Amino acid sequence: MTHSDRLGLRSARHLIAYLTPACILLVFATTPAHALVQLEFDTELTELNLSSPSPVPMPLASDPGNLLGDSISGYGWVDSQVLVTLSSQRLISPGPPSLGFACASEGGPGLACFPSGSPPPINPTALDGQNFQVDSFFDIWYDITVTDVDPRPGRDFAGQADGASITLQDLTGSTDRDMQVSYPAVFDKDHPNYGMLPPTDSFPYIGHFDIEIPLGGDINGNGENDKIKFTLAAHQVDGVNATFIILPDGTVVDMMDSIADLDGLIVDESSDPPFHIDLSGPTVAESKLLNGIVPEPTGLALLLAGGLFAPALRRRRA
């Protein structure tokens, strides 16, 4: 190497040494400041098997003379087994899927989350431990099967033989977001759903229903056909003890136990005998994060900084 070449190399090393601090500052200065993050999930309930642990009295026996002793306005009580499943679970002619959505806003309670459809990518490591407020809902289509398990005389469904079943299919609420809940959550970079889903049983899904299904007959014999009406449901899921499977496309399958309370009425124009059903059983849901995932932002800066420092270190050792 000639003397002039050595001088040129030395000058270049001096220039890099002086530029290094400025370059590092430039890297960090051009890294965008942390903005509040919004997470968006497509969700779906794929399996629901809720049953009554013990028989539930249902006002479905015809007793116009109130001869059974505890009838209300001609409606007699029948001990019944109740099963609630998703309409999409039917093996023959399955019903619509029970789709949902979850939106989580960084910053905690009080921050609204508006679905964008194309949320920006996130860095899980940078968000670890941050507070979020989650809004989750499902549009549920479900089937209810009520089976007579009452051995007492006269305690049969109106017009049906002893032990008969009534199945109501493709039931859903009269408005969107049949079941919804809002709750706080802490971001956990190691959780399959980053700690956002599912909620704990302290935050049940609540649904306000206005579902009326004609029963096609006059149960209490007052000259009016009757219908069954559902008015309110609360669905608690055990998010703390849920188990998860992560599919290759990133979909997370959540398996958990759940409890539901269902209120309803057998209705005609002159009488409304109410009923309440407590249900429990396994539930399976799926969720898929719509945000992309990016690596730790400081990784590139550290790599670049290391490359810029290397010539200066070699120069000092020389």
Residue in the structure block whose two tokens are 């001096």: 14
Instruction: Tell me whether residue 5 is in a domain.
Output: no
| 154 occurs within a structural domain | yes
Cβ-Cβ contacts under 8 Å for 285 (sequence gap 6 or more): 43, 44, 45, 46, 197, 198, 253, 254, 256
Q: Is residue 108 part of a domain?
A: yes
8 within domain boundaries: no
Q: Is residue 30 part of a domain?
A: no
Query: Rounded to whole angstroms, how far apart are CA atoms 108 and 32?
Result: 22
Q: Residue 24's pLDDT is what?
A: 40
> Tokens representing 229?
């009406």
Single-letter amino acid code for the residue at 55: P
- Are 114 and 103 in contact, with CB atoms under 8 Å apart? yes
DSSP string, 229-260: EEEEEEEEE--TT-EEEE-TTS-EEEEEEEEE
For residue 25, being part of any structural domain is answered with no
189-220 residue pLDDT tens: 999 999 999 998 899 998 867 788 888 889 99
**CB 111, CB 105: distance < 8 Å:** yes
Which tens digit of pLDDT belongs to each residue from 98-143? 999 999 999 866 666 777 878 999 999 999 999 999 999 999 999 9
Counting every residue written for the chain, the total comes to 318
Entry pTM: 0.78
Task: Report helix, strand or coil for 134.
Answer: strand
- Residue 198: is the preceding peptide bond cis (ω within 30°)? yes
Task: Name the residue with higher pLDDT: 212 or 306.
Answer: 212
pLDDT, tens digit (0-9, with 9 covering 90-100), for 65-74: 999 999 998 9
Residue closest to 232 by CA, chosen among 274, 281, 201: 274
Domain for residue 234, yes or no? yes
Q: Is residue 311 part of a domain?
A: no
Structural domain boundaries, residue 97: 36-294
Whole-angstrom distance, CA of residue 146 vs CA of residue 82? 5
The mean predicted confidence, pLDDT, of the chain is: 82
Helix (H, G, I), strand (E, B) or coil at 3: helix
d(C-alpha 167, C-alpha 165), whole Å: 7
Looking at the 3D structure of the chain, how many domains does it have?
A: 1
What confidence tens digit (pLDDT) does each residue in 10-28 have?
Answer: 444 443 444 444 444 333 4
Query: Is pLDDT of 55 > 80?
Result: yes
User: Looking at 69-73, 262-266, 305-309, which range is the least confident one?
Assistant: 305-309
